[in-house]
Structure formats: structure tokens, C-alpha cells
């Protein structure tokens, strides 16, 4: 979800040496099967759902955090986390009654709260709420999910599409910060945030929601413009004059490449199967740099400027890409993605990759459930 920001604060840097190394302090999870991990994640989400149907809290056990305006920034984090948790529960192969009830309550909360406004001129975490909110609502429409009427779902979907049009940058992308202009139309965007929103818009189209062709075309062109000849992606189009920065190389891009490849494949099929395979190979080959950034508390402090919040995001989109490929590819890459996700599992059944107030376990567990559920072997054909 990439819920965390990319901004390094002086306070964070000053406190870096006293910040706990959370990756080392937490005990490793016992080895479990994917099915056991899925059941544990469902149980954790059901147990930790807020009374109002949402997930996540504006609390922190640390002395510093990424910037988040009150209340807008936290409303965005909670809405995006809730959408991911709903998607994870809805995707799961197991649907116990308590999970179905949790999904109903979450969907009822989302139709009233997922349209989050911009928190302030420089902070646009609401982009994640709009993108993942639209993806969840579109899936709910397609599957006729309980918790909200079709009329409510379609009305919210229309509003989310309209909102994404408002926050789309002149170059066709979406971002989560804009410290340059603070204008009504944001000026800063990233390739992967754009890909996340473009995937949601494509899925909304499939659900019968009207999406302006111009919005889709500009977003596609933005992601395509960020694609380098070697199949990696610029962090954002603003880095076109620094394409060899570490974050733009394979070691920094592999976890973001999957979302961008998926966005370019959906709808118009801009990329072929071979391009998707190359991206998944990149994900596997660069895993040592991905895992090195897992749970590090300061954004982009690891090799190739990898941040912990790339980790589960990249694995989830890798699983989504894998769904578009033949079964032979699933047999090769599915186990690798599953193994990578299980490395982020905790003994209580949750998953997380980066400490973020009280949202990291909900959004991380949502990502993991989506990933594991979609990587399971396909049922044999009759």
C-alpha cells in the first residue's frame, strides 16, 4: 500500500541510533504452511477489527513517525488499511462466519468513509485510500458482497473515480506528497502510486463503473514513460534526469516493478507475457535487497534506497501478475512469492514490513492474505 511516506525527517535521523531494530527484536514466526498462515491471518484480522468496522489506529510505540496530518492523514491511513483488510478477507479461500461478518461491517464502514479528502497541501495520503478503496468497492460490486447495497457501492465508486480525476497530476500520475507547489492540482507523482490507481480504475471499469478514457490514457502514458529499457521503473517521472540513482535500478525497483507491469498489462495489454516474466525474475533475483530493507524504521535507509514498505506491496502485485500467466509460471514463481511473504509473518498470525503508527499490522496482513490466496495452486480442470 505504500502507506508510509518517503520523507526523511531531521528528528528521525537524529533518533536513528536509538530507534530499536525491530527486524531483529521480534522473534521469527514458526514455520507454517500457506494454508495455516491464511487461517492465522484471518483470525488476527477478525480479532483486531475496530468496533466501527475499520482497521488501524493512530497510535505509536515510537518517539517519531512519518508526517501525518491530524485528522486527515490518519483518516487516509485507516481507510486504505481497511480496504486492504477487506480485500484480503474477501480473497481468502476460507470464509468462516466471523470473517463474513467482519467483511460486512468493513464494507458498511467503507461506503461512508473511504472518500478521504486531501489532508493538507503537501500531504496526499488520501491517494492510497482512493486507490485501494476503489479496488475494494469494485470487487464488492462484481461479487455482490454483503454489507452495502449495489446502489451505495456504485455511488461511492463514481465518487472515487471523480476524486482520482481531481488529484491526477498534469503529467498523468498520482503521488502522496507535493511539497513543491501546494496547488489544487498536485505537481508530484510516482510510477507505482500511479500504477496502483490505474489498476483500481481498470477494475472499476470491469465492474461497470464509468471511467473517463482521458484519465486512463494519461495514467498509462505516465507509467510507460517511467519504464526503462531494462524493464525497471523510475521512482517517479521527476527522476528522469537521474535514471541511475539506486532506487531506479533493479535492486531498488523490483518490488515496485510488479505494480507497474500489472497496470500496463490490464486493459490494453501494453506488455506481453515475456515482460511480465522478466519482472518476476527481477523480483526473485533482487530479493536479497528487498529483505535487507524489511522492517527498517527509517524510510529508504537500506541498499538501493529500498524501504521496508516496498516489501509486502511488491509481493502482492507479484501475485497479481502471476495470475495472468500460465500455470507453468505459477509453479516456478508462486512458491518464491509465498516464501517471501511468510518471512514477514509474526507469531500472532499478523504480517508487517514497516512500523507505521497502528496501521502496519492491518495493512501488512491484508497484503499478505491477498498474496497467499492468489498464489495457491489453481484447482484442476474438470
Q: What would the pLDDT profile of 338-349 be if each residue is shown by its tens digit?
A: 999 999 999 999
Q: How far apart, in whole angstroms, are the C-alpha atoms of residue 344 and residue 209?
A: 35
Query: In this structure, are residues 357 and 76 in contact, taking their beta carbons and an 8 Å threshold?
Result: no
Burial 10-46 (b: 16+ CB within 10 A, else e): eebeeeeeeeeebbeeeeebeeeebeebbbbbbbbbb
Q: How far apart, in whole angstroms, are the C-alpha atoms of residue 170 and residue 179?
A: 16
Lowest mean pLDDT among 132-136, 336-340, 375-379: 375-379
pLDDT of 127: 98
Of all residues in the chain, the percent with pLDDT exceeding 90 is: 86
Quote the mean pLDDT of the chain: 92
Confidence of residue 5 (pLDDT cuts 50, 70, 90): very low
Residue 382 or residue 298, greater confidence: 298
pLDDT of 15: 34
Q: Is residue 239 over pLDDT 80?
A: yes
On the 0-12 / 13-18 / 19+ scale of CB atoms within 10 A, 280 is buried
Cell of 333: 514463481
Confidence of residue 376 (pLDDT cuts 50, 70, 90): confident
pLDDT of 62: 85
pLDDT of 24: 42
Average confidence (pLDDT) over 91-108: 98
Q: How far apart, in whole angstroms, are the C-alpha atoms of residue 240 and residue 232?
A: 13
pLDDT of 25: 42
Of all residues in the chain, the percent with pLDDT exceeding 70 is: 91
Q: How far apart, in whole angstroms, are the C-alpha atoms of residue 245 and residue 234?
A: 9
Average confidence (pLDDT) over 26-47: 86
Confidence of residue 31 (pLDDT cuts 50, 70, 90): confident
Q: How far apart, in whole angstroms, are the C-alpha atoms of residue 98 and residue 96?
A: 6
Q: Is residue 13 over pLDDT 60?
A: no
Confidence of residue 190 (pLDDT cuts 50, 70, 90): very high
pLDDT of 140: 98
Average confidence (pLDDT) over 252-256: 98
Could you give the C-alpha distances from 241 to 234, 249, 326, in angstroms and in order? 10, 14, 37
Confidence of residue 180 (pLDDT cuts 50, 70, 90): confident
Q: Is residue 107 over pLDDT 50?
A: yes
Average confidence (pLDDT) over 361-371: 98
Q: Is residue 7 over pLDDT 80?
A: no
Q: How far apart, in whole angstroms, are the C-alpha atoms of residue 154 and residue 109?
A: 15
Average confidence (pLDDT) over 148-163: 98
Average confidence (pLDDT) over 42-68: 95
pLDDT of 61: 85
Q: How far apart, in whole angstroms, are the C-alpha atoms of residue 362 and residue 111?
A: 19
pLDDT of 63: 84
Query: In this structure, are residues 159 and 133 in contact, taking their beta carbons and an 8 Å threshold?
Result: no
In the chain, % helix, strand, coil (3-state, to 5) comes to 55, 5, 40
pLDDT of 6: 39
Alpha helix segments (H runs only) across 60-212:
72-91, 97-113, 126-143, 150-167, 191-206
Average confidence (pLDDT) over 208-230: 98
Residue 4 or residue 370, greater confidence: 370
pLDDT of 379: 65
Bridge partners (DSSP) listed for residue 345: 351
Q: How far apart, in whole angstroms, are the C-alpha atoms of residue 123 and residue 178?
A: 6
Lowest mean pLDDT among 12-26, 124-138, 224-238: 12-26
Q: Rounding to the nearest 10 degrees, give the CA dihedral for residues 200, 203, 204, 209.
A: 160
pLDDT of 377: 77
Amino acid at each position: 500500500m505504500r502507506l508510509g511516506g518517503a520523507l526523511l525527517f531531521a528528528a528521525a535521523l537524529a533518533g536513528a541510533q536509538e530507534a530499536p531494530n525491530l527486524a531483529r527484536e521480534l522473534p521469527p514466526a514458526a514455520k507454517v504452511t500457506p494454508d495455516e498462515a491464511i487461517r492465522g491471518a484471518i483470525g488476527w484480522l477478525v480479532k483486531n477489527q475496530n468496533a466501527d468496522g475499520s482497521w488501524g489506529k493512530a497510535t505509536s510505540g515510537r518517539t517519531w513517525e512519518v508526517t501525518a496530518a491530524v485528522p486527515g492523514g490518519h483518516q487516509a491511513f485507516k481507510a486504505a488499511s481497511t480496504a486492504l483488510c477487506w480485500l484480503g478477507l474477501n480473497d481468502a479461500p476460507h470464509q468462516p462466519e466471523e470473517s463474513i461478518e467482519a467483511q460486512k461491517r468493513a464494507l458498511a464502514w467503507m461506503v461512508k468513509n473511504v472518500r478521504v479528502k486531501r489532508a493538507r497541501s503537501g500531504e496526499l495520503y488520501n491517494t492510497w485510500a482512493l486507490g485501494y478503496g476503489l479496488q475494494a468497492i469494485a470487487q464488492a460490486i462484481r461479487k455482490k458482497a454483503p454489507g452495502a447495497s449495489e446502489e451505495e457501492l456504485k455511488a461511492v465508486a463514481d465518487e472515487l473515480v471523480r476524486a482520482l480525476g481531481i488529484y491526477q497530476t498534469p503529467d498523468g500520475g498520482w503521488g502522496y506528497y507535493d511539497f513543491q507547489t501546494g496547488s489544487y492540482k498536485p505537481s508530484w507523482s510516482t510510477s507505482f502510486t500511479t500504477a496502483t490507481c490505474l489498476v483500481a480504475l481498470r477494475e472499476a471499469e470491469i465492474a461497470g463503473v464509468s471511467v473517463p478514457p482521458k484519465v486512463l490514457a494519461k495514467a498509462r502514458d505516465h507509467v510507460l514513460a517511467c519504464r526503462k529499457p531494462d524493464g525497471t521503473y523510475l521512482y517517479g517521472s521527476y527522476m528522469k534526469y537521474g535514471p541511475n540513482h539506486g532506487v531506479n535500478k533493479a535492486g531498488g525497483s523490483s518490488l515496485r516493478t510488479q505494480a507497474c507491469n500489472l497496470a500496463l498489462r490490464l486493459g490494453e495489454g501494453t506488455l506481453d507475457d515475456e515482460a511480465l516474466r522478466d519482472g518476476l525474475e527481477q523480483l526473485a533475483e533482487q530479493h536479497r535487497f528487498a529483505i535487507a530493507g524489511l522492517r527498517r524504521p527509517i524510510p529508504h535507509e537500506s541498499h538501493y534506497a529500498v524501504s521496508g514498505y516496498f516489501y509486502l506491496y511488491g509481493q502482492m502485485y507479484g501475485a497479481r501478475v502471476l495470475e495472468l500467466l500460465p500455470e507453468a509460471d505459477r509453479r516456478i514463481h508462486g512458491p518464491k512469492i509465498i516464501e517471501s511473504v511468510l518471512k514477514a509473518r509474526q507469531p500472532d498470525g499478523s504480517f508487517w514490513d514497516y512500523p507505521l503508527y497502528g496501521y502496519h499490522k492491518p495493512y501488512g496482513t491484508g497484503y499478505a492474505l491477498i498474496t497467499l490466496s492468489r498464489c495457491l495452486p489453481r484447482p484442476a480442470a474438470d
